[in-house]
Structures are given as structure tokens and as C-alpha cells.
Amino acid sequence: MEEDMREMSYEELGALCTNLSKACSKQLRSEEAALFAQLSDYYQKKSKRELGRSFKDLSALIEKDLQEGYAEANLIASEQNDRGTLRALVWGEKVTKLLKSLLMRYEKQQGALLEKTNVYVCEICGFVYVGDVPPAVCPICKVPSFKILPVVKEVV
């Protein structure tokens, strides 16, 4: 069991706290949600962003997740007979494949891909939709469209 223990990076801690904040918010625990959001902000500010990474680098990391990460996680969840985790992994793998495809399109089209259109994200599974109106039902996790939220575009 000890070999499974390791220190988490600031990025991982930030993502974990973001997810805990969202979970608390959904449970109407606003005070806890706000505290986890503060922790997430703290860890995100402490993280070291790697500059100069290419689409090729990102694509390689995504492919490694698809080939190794999901296989390992599925094996562990299967051994534990954890159906909820297995379902979430199916969703995650589908979304990861779609995001990889979207990144490849963005690499070719750059800003033109997102110009004069909207981007939506399913808050349940992470499905990303680029277009004017999101689908009536998420094609990955089957939740209704009110769970598919618009991404606010900001000038960087």
C-alpha cells in the first residue's frame, strides 16, 4: 500500500480542491465549497506552468493517458468491483478522445475554430461541444442540456 503513496503536485492539489468545491456546491454546502475554492486558487497560484509546450507534447500526454492511464484505472476499479468508477472511466475516456480530436482541429484551424461560435462543457462528464446550441442531451453521460454550460470567453 505504501508504494501507492506519493506527494501530490500543486496542480493535482488544485484540481482536487476544485472538484471538492464543486461537490460541496452541489450538496448545497456553500461554506465548504468556498473554502475548497480558496484552497484551489492557492494551489493553482503555487503551481509552475510549463511554457513552450507544443500540441505534439500535449497529444503525447493524452495518448499516454488513453493507452496506459485508463487501462490501469480500469483494472483497479474492476478488481474492486467499483461500477461507479468504471462508468466514470468510460465517460472520461470518451471525453478524452473527443478532446484530443478537438485539440487536433484547433491546431490546424487555430482561432478560426472558435470564432463566431460558442463552447459548452457538460458539468457532469466534461464533454465539450463547439457550436451555436448545445445538444438536448449530453452524448456521453445522457444528462439534459441544462447541465451543459457555456464557457465564458476571455481575452488573454
Task: Mark whether 66 and 96 lie in a shared domain.
Answer: yes
The total number of structural domains that make up the chain: 3
Whichever domain contains 139, its CATH number is: 2.20.28.10
Task: Indicate the pairing of strand 128-131 with strand 148-150.
Answer: unpaired
60 with 106, same domain?
A: yes
- Determine, yes or no, domain membership for 34: yes
User: Are both 106 and 118 inside the same structural domain?
Assistant: no
109 within 8 A of 81, measured Cβ to Cβ: no
Contact 106, 113 (CB under 8 A): yes
Which range marks the domain in which residue 58 is found? 50-112
Q: What is the pLDDT of residues 55-111, one digit of tens each?
A: 788 888 888 889 988 999 999 999 999 888 888 889 889 888 988 888 888 888 887
**Is the pTM higher than 0.85?**
no
Task: State mean pLDDT over 28-48.
Answer: 89
Does some domain include residue 3? no
Tell me, yes or no, whether 33 and 65 share the same domain.
no
Do 58 and 15 share a structural domain?
no
